[in-house]
Amino acid sequence: APAHPLWPEIERVTLEQLQYARLGVEGGVWQLFAEDGEMKMYKREEEVDGLAVDPLKAVHTVKGVTGREMTHYFFSPDVRFEWETTLEQMKVLETIADDTLIILQIHKRVWPASQRDALFWSHVRRVPNDTDRDAQDIWIACNHSTEHHEAPSNEGKMVRVALTVCLVCQTSIEPPADGRPVTRDHLTCKITYCSVVNPGGWVPTSALRAVYKREYPKFLKRFTQYVKDRCDKQPILF
């Protein structure tokens, strides 16, 4: 494993997020707040120092793509402006490995709050499926706030959010009965997207909850459709 000071944290947080995502939405603590076809969005209403920090968990089933493809396009900074509509600026501050980056993102301002930025490490990895041998491997992409000497302190101008986000994907293949080759029609990708964002500076709770209610469904719907469109007619990446 790469000898980078952040590596132990990246390893720990990524595997913790994997377990957290795989818990699903059991236990009755999750409140369904949006539904669109296969996509179901849940939240928990929590406040930290009077700030709404509502953990979010979304589950979705997408046909015709693999978990490797889904997490690849979520991780890749090169395509982020194509699907992340609230992004204003993005800079890769450090490339720790080909599957691990440190990124600074400046997002569009949402009235009446001040503009936010996010500084986080981003990691993607394949995890062998330890419960079901003949299942496909699981893929996880994880973004977690971090410090970096190159990030501007942007005192006063911008508020830095603290976030932990993961996208966990499990691919299943319904093999064609007559031994024909597997095509995208036989692929199903089960997605769990988890997000905890501390907005950093004070935002009216009602305004913040309205932003989440509007932005999260739009984001996941747009992102997954983007991946389907990109993968269509392309060779399958398992």
Ligand X SMILES: Cc1cccc(-c2n[nH]cc2-c2ccc(F)c(-c3ccc(S(=O)(=O)CCO)cc3)c2)n1
Cβ atoms of 129 and 136 within 8 Å: the answer is: yes
The residue length of the chain stands at 238
> Residue 76 interacts with ligand X (CB under 6 A)?
no
Q: Based on CB atoms, which residue is closest to ligand X, 138 or 158?
A: 158
Cβ atoms of 92 and 78 within 8 Å: the answer is: no
Measured between alpha carbons, how far is 138 from 166 in angstroms, rounded to an integer? 13
- Subset of 28-57 contacting ligand X (CB under 6 A): none
Measured between alpha carbons, how far is 99 from 104 in angstroms, rounded to an integer? 16
> Residue 82 interacts with ligand X (CB under 6 A)?
no
Of the residues 86, 172, 188, 205, which one makes contact with ligand X according to CB under 6 A: 86
CA distances 132 to 19, 99, 192, Å, are 15, 25, 18
Q: Based on CB atoms, which residue is closest to ligand X, 16 or 215?
A: 215
Cβ atoms of 214 and 85 within 8 Å: the answer is: no
> Residue 166 interacts with ligand X (CB under 6 A)?
no
Site string for ligand X, 201-230 (x = CB under 6 A): ----------xx--xx--x-----------
**Binding footprint of ligand X on the chain (CB under 6 A):** 84, 86, 105, 107-108, 110, 116, 118, 143, 161, 163, 165, 195, 211-212, 215-216, 219
